[in-house]
Amino acid sequence: MNTPPIKIFADGADRAGILKLYELGEVDGFTTNPTLMRKAGVSDYEAFARDILSVIRDLPVSLEVFSDDFAEMRRQALKIAAWGDNVYVKIPVMTRSKDSCAGVIRDLSAEGVKVNVTAVLTIEQVCAVQQSLHPDTPAIVSMFAGRIADTGVDPVPVLRRAKDILTARSQVELLWASCREALNIRHAEQAGCDIITVTHDILKKKALFGKDLTELSLETVKMFHDDAAAAGYQL
């Protein structure tokens, strides 16, 4: 049985970049978060989100709550979810006080809200999230593979184990988050992930997949030569 190709979601908050990728049809969905939005200079969260959703209506778009209070988190989640049928609401796996958000996740999922549980790094967290998700409601579990790798641990076996656990929920997709390089797309495929989020700059490197390495070597040599000449270097 052939495994379906991994879905690629663009991760960012640059409006022009998001809409260009959508127009070109190069990705299968979009994700963002408050950190990316702040870096991109977004000052009005709702206006930015609604603007994007007014154009992108047929692909998944993940938007994150930004409260640490469970009641407020739930209120924000319901408001965000109402912006479109293609919206997934990103809920952190825990609060800043290390309190599990499993209860909020359970309530929202039971109400039919499509959640994207984010900042997941451990198998224990995956198990807790899996038990909290309603079997009939689509959901995404975002494991931050790049951050796992930053600690010196190979994330592929970890995410492969996570995928095995999540198979108990047919509506749940596993997402490889915090992509560090284009090769991570292959790593995510090896782990059995359904989705990988890729920043706009790394997404450009996907065009190099399958490129002849000798030709790439020649391009690199030419680049060094041309830059030295342009700088007027002499010895």
Domains along the chain with CATH numbers: 7-208 (3.20.20.70)
Q: Among residues 20, 39, 90, 206, which one is catalytic?
A: 90
pLDDT at 2: 54
d(CA 110, CA 14): 33
Concerning whether 90 is annotated as a catalytic residue, the answer is: yes
In degrees and rounded to multiples of 5, residue 181 shows phi and psi of: -155, 165
Note the pLDDT tens digit of each residue in 75-87. Answer: 999 999 999 999 9
Note the pLDDT tens digit of each residue in 222-235. Answer: 999 999 999 999 99
Note the pLDDT tens digit of each residue in 100-116. Answer: 999 999 999 999 999 99
Distances in Å between the Cα of 10 and the Cα atoms of 41, 163, 198, 213 are 18, 21, 5, 27
Which of 78, 103, 102 lies closest to 89, judged by CA? 78
Contact 123, 162 (CB under 8 A): yes
Indicate the pTM of the whole model: 0.92
> Torsion over CA of 199, 27, 87 and 43, rounded to 10 degrees?
40
d(CA 74, CA 67): 9
Give me the mean pLDDT over the 60-71 stretch.
Answer: 96
pLDDT at 5: 87
